[in-house]
Structure 1
Amino acid sequence: MRVALHSEIRESAVDDYRDHHARIPDDLVAAFGRLGIHEWTIWRSGRRLFHLVDCDDWDAAVAALPHEPADQAWQRDIGRFVELFRDADGDEGTAPLELIWDLTAQRDGAG
């Protein structure tokens, strides 16, 4: 499954976020693999970040991540630069964004 997420960087923290996120720790990459997260890409517009995650089960992965020591360490580090995550309604939360349109689904007759 693919999910999209939206987060925001703290004021004046864009360069620090970019520097710290240029390469994530190898043990976090391994944890993602164990939890069924296959790909995670992030794009930036100003202080806003848009994430595209390819995973087996987002709800299961996001529930398990806080129990991973690698993610705990990563959140202590990168969390200094992240203001918050927003859900589909713009409220604070890590629920995926609402999918509006999908070219493949339309081509396959599902959209």
Structure 2
Amino acid sequence: MASLAMNHVLERVALFQFTPTHCVQARAMLGWSVEQLSREAQVPVEDIQRFEAQQEVADAARLALAYRFEALGLVFFPGFRPGRSVKVQGMTAESVEHRNFAMAE
């Protein structure tokens, strides 16, 4: 089990790697609207719209978006379009919920 410090480092990495452009590109790859992403990631539509417009949103909202896409097998690296990873064992949509994040809002 990862320590709290390791979780914090992993969250910082996810925040650095997942950009507003990635969010738009990932939605396009999946054919999702902002409304569908909102339902899937449990993040308000307004937060997604602000993030995609490169405005400030809470780190917890950004993590929820990144983790929802990652649960579907997408990976993100700065400067590159989202890619598809190999299937992650044990990850389900139900295991990636907003309330499971260690970061306080």
TM-score of the pair, normalised by structure 2: 0.29
More strand by share: 1
Question: TM-score, structure 1 length as denominator?
Answer: 0.28
Q: Which has the higher helix share?
A: 2
Higher relative contact order (CA 8 A, sep 6+): 1
Larger radius of gyration: 1
